């Protein structure tokens, strides 16, 4: 195989259909850009889940009388509840927060705000803060075990709050993947079409090649490489787009909630992690599409 020959054929081919080539590169780039966005969303969701899994607790709030009477969970009602919880294999640990502690934390949270002055320790419940060993089954078990028990006011599963965030991130992921899929179909058809046009404009060459005994590789490889080159260029543009998007757009958009630790930031390394995946997808899909097209539609 002569590399210089194939290279020359590929560039002639790309130049000859330059408008088609550009359309193909752009469509591929948009499609892969969306795939990349989706992958970054998935990664962010994973990170966020990790971030919260060690922080999220189920709070069992105690009734006002128990809260007021018991400052260290030493009395029977609170201790009974605590023991029940601690005996569950789904529970990792239980921490008691007294009214006074809750008040102090509240002051800290709302420091400098009018709300801080309104609240008195008595208006806050003491809570049993439960860390789960099993994130999936744990909260339901705790809710079931505590509901209706003497001394329990209500149960707050922090995961319900966090779930909204996950829903949002999951939505972002689903929408981008759906758009990516639509774009991918367009990209596939364009690649297939371009390969056919390319083969048609070069039918004389290919005819001569066949006649003088060129192997299938020689006749088909230029078309395949043409498709792969556009796929890879599209992937590179997509990666550049993701980088630009990160620095110009996402970083500013998320800066508030990222610095508060609500959502983990999208790191440069994440984009670097996504890029080779996009290049592989771009090259692979283009190669397969090109090959199938040559096999099915082009007689070489």
List 76, 89, 171, 207, residue binding other proteins (CB under 8 A): 207
Report residue 140: phi and psi, to 5°.
-60, -40
E-strand stretches of the chain: 58-62, 91-97, 127-132, 152-157
List 4, 108, 117, 136, residue binding other proteins (CB under 8 A): 4
Q: Give the count of residues interacting with other proteins (CB under 8 A).
A: 18
Q: How far is the CB of 210 from other proteins (least distance, A)?
A: 7
What CA–CA distance (Å, rounded) separates 205 from 160?
Answer: 66
Q: How far is the CB of 204 from other proteins (least distance, A)?
A: 6
Stretch that binds other proteins, among 18-26, 92-100, 106-114, 203-211 (CB under 8 A): 203-211
Of 114 and 211, CB closest to other proteins: 211
| 14 contributes a contact to other proteins by CB under 8 A | no
Q: Tokens in use for 102? A: 């809750």
Contact between 39 and 255 (Cβ < 8 Å):
no
Q: How far is the CB of 2 from other proteins (least distance, A)?
A: 6
Walk across the sheet containing 152-157 and list its strands. Answer: 91-97, 127-132, 58-62, 152-157
| 15 contributes a contact to other proteins by CB under 8 A | no
Q: How far is the CB of 40 from other proteins (least distance, A)?
A: 44
Contact between 21 and 14 (Cβ < 8 Å):
yes
Binding to other proteins, residues 209-248 (CB under 8 A): 209-216, 218-219
| 2 contributes a contact to other proteins by CB under 8 A | yes
Residues forming a β-bridge with 95: 129
Binding to other proteins, residues 30-69 (CB under 8 A): none
Of 55 and 203, CB closest to other proteins: 203
> How many other β-carbons are positioned within 10 Å of the β-carbon of residue 269?
8
| 200 contributes a contact to other proteins by CB under 8 A | no
Q: How far is the CB of 29 from other proteins (least distance, A)?
A: 31
| 114 contributes a contact to other proteins by CB under 8 A | no
Stretch that binds other proteins, among 124-132, 207-215, 228-236, 268-276 (CB under 8 A): 207-215
Alpha helix positions (H), 114-215 = 114-118, 138-146, 158-201, 203-211
Of 84 and 201, CB closest to other proteins: 201
Residue 83 burial (10 A CB sphere; 0-12, 13-18, 19+): exposed
Gyration radius of the chain's alpha carbons: 30
Of 16 and 95, CB closest to other proteins: 16
Of 62 and 221, CB closest to other proteins: 221
Q: What's the residue count for the chain?
A: 300
| 126 contributes a contact to other proteins by CB under 8 A | no
94-125: b or e for each residue (b if 16 or more CB lie within 10 Å)?
bebbbbebbbeebbeeeeeeeeeeeeebeebb
Q: Which residues bind other proteins (CB under 8 A)?
A: 1-2, 4-5, 204-205, 207-216, 218-219
């Amino acid at each position: 195989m002569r590399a210089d020959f194939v290279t020359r054929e590929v560039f002639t081919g790309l130049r000859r259909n330059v408008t088609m080539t550009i359309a193909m590169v752009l469509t591929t780039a948009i499609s892969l850009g969306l795939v990349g966005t989706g992958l970054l969303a998935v990664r962010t969701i994973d990170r966020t889940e990790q971030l919260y899994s060690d922080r999220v607790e189920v709070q069992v709030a105690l009734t006002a009388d128990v809260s007021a009477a018991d400052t260290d969970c030493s009395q029977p009602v609170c201790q009974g509840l605590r023991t029940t919880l601690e005996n569950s294999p789904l529970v990792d640990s239980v921490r008691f927060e007294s009214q006074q502690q809750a008040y102090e934390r509240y002051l800290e949270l709302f420091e400098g705000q009018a709300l801080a002055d309104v609240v008195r320790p008595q208006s806050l419940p003491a809570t049993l803060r439960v860390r789960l060993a099993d994130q999936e089954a744990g909260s339901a078990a705790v809710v079931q075990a505590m509901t209706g028990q003497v001394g329990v006011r209500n149960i707050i599963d922090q995961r319900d709050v966090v779930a909204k965030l996950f829903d949002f991130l999951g939505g972002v992921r689903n929408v981008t993947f759906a758009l990516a899929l639509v774009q991918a179909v367009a990209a596939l058809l364009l690649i297939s079409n371009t390969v056919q046009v390319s083969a048609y404009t070069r039918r004389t060459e290919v005819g001569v090649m066949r006649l003088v005994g060129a192997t299938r590789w020689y006749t088909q490889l230029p078309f395949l490489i043409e498709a792969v080159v556009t796929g890879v260029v599209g992937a590179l543009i997509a990666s550049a787009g993701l980088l630009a998007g990160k620095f110009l757009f996402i970083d500013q958009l998320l800066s508030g909630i990222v610095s508060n630790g609500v959502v983990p930031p999208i790191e440069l390394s994440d984009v670097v992690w996504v890029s080779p995946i996009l290049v592989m997808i771009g090259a692979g899909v283009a190669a397969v599409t090109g090959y199938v097209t040559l096999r099915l539609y082009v007689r070489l």
